[in-house]
Amino acid sequence: MYDLYKKSCENDSKTPLSSFVFRNIFNTPFNLHFHRPQTDTCHRCDKFKIDLESQSITEEERNTLLREKELHQRKAQAAHDMQKQDVSDCANDPTKREDIPPIHHHFYTSLRTHPEAVDLLENPDPDEDEESSD
């Protein structure tokens, strides 16, 4: 981070602070940290959150959104539970692995992520969603 700061100062023809001063300012008054997000939410959950925080929706719309959000989260949890059960079953029962063809590489490259999998449960035809949004 300090190296980027120094390059920026050089580009702007400014004298950079020492690394000690930079680190002190960066860490003390601002207390900035960089890390990976602890959780990841799907785009539908994000949309529910934004819509529910909106001041322009009626109480009826808010209740409808809350019901839809709860249903979506239950479906997501069910999909997650099924995935955990499948992994557990395959790990504990070797007979469930015998008939699996060696195509695991294909799955790594084309397997849908969790939020997309939940969307497929709700809308199995992805083209249908695109048509309705036009």
Which pLDDT band holds residue 132 (cuts at 50, 70, 90)? very low
Q: What is the pTM of this model?
A: 0.46
- 68: Cβ–Cβ under 8 A, 6 or more apart, which residues? 48
6-49 pLDDT, tens per residue? Answer: 898 999 999 988 988 888 887 777 777 777 766 777 889 889 99
Q: Which residue has the tokens 């969603």?
A: 129
Tell me which of 133 and 123 has the higher pLDDT.
123
- 23: Cβ–Cβ under 8 A, 6 or more apart, which residues? 2
Which pLDDT band holds residue 123 (cuts at 50, 70, 90)? low
pLDDT of residue 68: 96
Beta carbons of 79 and 113 less than 8 angstroms apart: no
User: Looking at beta carbons, which pairs linking 53-58 to residues 24 or more positions away fall under 8 Å?
Assistant: none
Beta-carbon neighbour count of residue 48 at 10 Å? 19
pLDDT of residue 60: 95
Q: Indicate the burial class of 118 (C-beta count within 10 angstroms; 0-12, 13-18, 19 or more).
A: buried
